[in-house]
Amino acid sequence: MFTRSLAAASRNGAPIFAALGDETRLRIVAKLSDQGPLSIVRLTKGETMTRQAITKHLSVLADAGLVRDVRRGRERLWALEPSPLEVARRYLDLVSERWDAALGRLAALVETDDE
């Protein structure tokens, strides 16, 4: 699944900001974040738009690698998917934090016993 959305993300350039630059799509992301995977019926509830219009928004989000559809039995649900770029960035943050901590310990080691 990551491979597919990675391809989608690189094909579309900077799709994440474009995909999120819409009130309805932001609301969809928030709903999926709060409530987990949801069917199109649940996602349309409370919206003034038609099911078709919501489906279109979902496909924009899917192209950006932000959501994907999953089957649960006969039901088709939509779920959030962390974007590959976000994964890559957050991963570097993790590695970076680990180096910061290690270098702090290195400084403590070489700076204290040298006096």
Shortest reach from residue 2's CB to another protein, in Å: 5
Interface with another protein by CB under 8 A: which range of 44-52, 55-63, 67-75, 107-115?
107-115
Shortest reach from residue 82's CB to another protein, in Å: 5
Can you tell me which of 14, 22, 26, 53 binds another protein, judged by CB under 8 A?
Answer: 26
Q: CA separation (Å) from 94 to 41, 88, 99, 105?
A: 38, 10, 9, 17
Q: Taking Cα atoms as reference points, which of 53, 79, 56 lies closest to residue 66? A: 79
| Residue 71, token pair as written in the block | 């089957």
